[in-house]
Amino acid sequence: MESPTTPISFEFYPPQTPEGVEKLTAARQRLAAMKPEFFSVTFGAGGSTQDRTLETIRQIHAEGHNATPHLSCVGSTRDNVRALLFAYKDMGIKRIVALRGDLPSGMASIGEFQYANELVSFIRAQTGEHFHIEVAAYPEFHPQANSAREDMLNFKRKVNAGANSAITQYFYNTDGYFRFVDECRKLGVTAPVVPGIMPIMRFSQLARFSDACGAEIPRWMRKTMEGYGDDVESVQSFGLDVVTQLCEKLIAGGVPGLHFYTLNQANASLEILKRLGYR
């Protein structure tokens, strides 16, 4: 069987400890064998991980991989975003993920950028076409959106501001993803929309993430995993089956890529890719 040709990419968060750095380096080395298009690194709420994001990007780039930093509106000023942009440009970074970000508890103001389209416009004004800009997409709609229509128009604004492509929030319903792409095309938005893939490792963790970000866990999945109780092995086995089938449907539907939210771990993503036929 030939290896699939659908591009893949992996997302990390910047580790907080020397042990975390070592674990991420080991995981990254294993994932690099799959020849991903890029590794992205998140940017903490309110810019709280700015230095660690920069250092992790520096390490990935030094290893010879395509490194993609996240930038967030929350807590950011034009001056500090400008400084980061030129630091990344001087480093040779070619791709950026531009996000609005979530307002941390206790923070009164989002910062000098209110919405992601403003951040995208600023990046273009400062650096022209140097960066390939990714933005976020929400097939099940942003949890703070007043309506589906408003969310679609907001996505269109980000693309019109200069975004090249998008990565979605994770989901487990392929119909929602394909419907979202169809709606984008009806609005004249032709930018590629890459599905975000969340491997399932622990149900409690997944439920917490999903409640926070508005990603739906279908009832049949939720009830199945609840039934396993503390049997982590059964949850993980079930999760591998479900997410592999999800990816199979997405690949068959012609998606432009698969972006894995790794949580700084390699095993689950590698097993799914192996089952999909990646070599």
- Name the residues annotated as catalytic: 11
Instruction: Calculate the alpha carbon distances from 9 to 41, 147, 221 in Å.
Output: 11, 30, 25
Task: Name the nearest CA neighbour of 27 among 209, 260, 242.
Answer: 260
Q: Strand, helix or coil at 70?
A: strand
| Greatest Cα-to-Cα distance within the chain, rounded to the nearest angstrom | 54
Q: How far apart are CA 213 and CA 96, in angstroms?
A: 21
Name 137's bridge partners: 168
Please, which residues have CB within 8 angstroms of residue 115's CB and are 6 or more apart in sequence? 73, 100, 154, 157
Q: Checking phi first, is residue 188 left (phi over 0); if not, alpha (psi -120 to 50) or beta?
A: left
Query: Tokens standing for 48?
Result: 């709280």
